Amino acid sequence: MARSKRPSFLKRLKEQARVARAAEKREARRARKDAKAAGAPADDIEGPEDQERSDDEGEETREARGSET
């Protein structure tokens, strides 16, 4: 009788990372939904993916974007 083996260490790490990303997406979606229900415009809500992009941008890009609006 064959028994089921545990997944390898790397496969387990990948699975944990996938689960963590899914949880982050769920929380971001829930936060956007709650903010929308509270009446805040969707442009003011910054999710985790938006924060990563803004961290990668330089000051020049941020200043240019601020002067356009």
Q: How far apart are CA 66 and CA 54, in angstroms?
A: 13
| pTM (2 d.p.) | 0.47
* Res. 58: pLDDT tops 90: no
Question: What is residue 6's predicted lDDT score, i.e. its pLDDT?
Answer: 84
Q: What is the mean pLDDT of the chain?
A: 76
**At which residue do the structure tokens 């961290």 appear?**
55
* Res. 21: pLDDT tops 90: yes
Tokens of 20: 């963590």
Confidence of residue 69 (pLDDT cuts 50, 70, 90): very low
Question: What is residue 29's predicted lDDT score, i.e. its pLDDT?
Answer: 97
